[in-house]
Amino acid sequence: MNLPSPAVLAQLTDVHAHPTDSPIDPQAMQELQITVCAMSSRSSDQSLVRKLAQSYPHKVVPCFGYHPWFSHCICLRNNTTKNDHYRQLFSPSDSAEHLDAFNTLLSTLPVPIPLDDIISSLRQDLQSFPNAMLGEVGLDRAFRIPYNYDESPRKLSPFTVPLQHQLAILRAQIDLAIELGRNISLHSVKAAQPTMELFNDIQAQYGTGWHKISLDLHSCGFSPEMFKDVQRRYPNTFLSLSTVINGRSPNHLSLIQLCDPHRILVESDYNDINMCTSQTWEMVQTVAQVKGWTVETDWDEGQEPSEFGVVRRLKDNWLRFLHKL
């Protein structure tokens, strides 16, 4: 891939990536020329993101939060046992096969952590980094719990996490983000309708408090109609797409086309820091093509707005997302 000059790359932010999901070579971090928003998703990676952001404060925006794929590891009540929590959540049927699957899964699952504890450690992490965001959080109606998350390929159990449980965990995290004035990176898969309803509830409760934070619909898979509706109703929502998730569907070109030119961002959603730059750059080129924007080969800070290329526009959008423009 042909990358632009370092001066151009220095303007670019990958708004959603998971670099701590792979071992990180310090050399790769030294050579990194873009800014990366490093997501966390579960108990074990919050500290990895913390350390990465401490080591590379100018290249990494730390993002703390609990992803729906790990929401079953969180219990809503403080005084529940492991067995009771998972049994209530997954409600295995009486069939021998289903019970077997449940018992196998149960033996691999951790002791659940109470939501109150999750929120207080999240509060601590967000407060220790003034630039930290909430992410990755969200809703997912497509995933099933794997027997072993770290195994590849993952063998899936028949169990899913009820939407109500995911919503309770998401809502508590968003309430905290609004209280602390932090922006959000949101995952929403096969859950466009409940996501809209959630935004509605939040808007009704917080009014302008909700508008003071920005929310990025990361690797958004909404239908064009649904997306148009979200964009119209919630001026604090942004769109970011990735080649790895959205590139598979022609839908993403319609989303780019429909997206307010001031509210589009780019991301890699990659779990390998070595790939973040090229993956993000690929999406930059797609956005430029669909929007009919030029692609900068070198950087000129003093251009007229009518001459702005894709990188300058994306940079301004990121500043808008941060409420700095």
Q: For the chain, report the end-to-end CA distance as a whole number of angstroms.
A: 32
- Beta strands 35-38; 60-64: pairing state: parallel
Shortest CB 269 distance to Zn ion, Å: 5
Which of these ranges, 77-85, 108-116, 122-130, 134-142, lies near Zn ion under the rule CB under 5 A?
134-142
SS3 label, residue 237: strand
Gap between the Cα atoms of 29 and 134, Å rounded: 23
User: CA torsion sign, 42 to 43 to 45 to 46?
Assistant: positive
With CB under 5 A as the contact rule, which of the stretches 85-93, 195-203, 209-217, 265-273 interacts with Zn ion? 265-273
Which one of the spans 30-38, 94-102, 129-137, 277-285 is the region binding Zn ion (CB under 5 A)? 129-137
Of residues 135 through 194, those in contact with Zn ion by CB under 5 A are: 136
Nearer to Zn ion, 52 or 105 (CB): 52
Q: What is the largest CA-CA distance in the chain?
A: 70
Using CB under 5 A, which residues numbered 79 to 118 contact Zn ion?
none
Tokens of 28: 């790769």
Shortest distance, position 188 Cβ to Zn ion, whole Å: 11
Nearer to Zn ion, 218 or 313 (CB): 218
Q: Which stretch binds Zn ion (CB under 5 A): 44-52, 143-151, 246-254, 268-276?
A: 268-276
By beta-carbon proximity to Zn ion, the closer residue of 269 and 296 is 269
- Give the list of residues 6+ apart from residue 75 with CB closer than 8 angstroms, or none: 85, 112, 113, 114, 115
Q: Which residue has the tokens 């526009």?
A: 313
Interface ranges with Zn ion (CB under 5 A): 136, 269
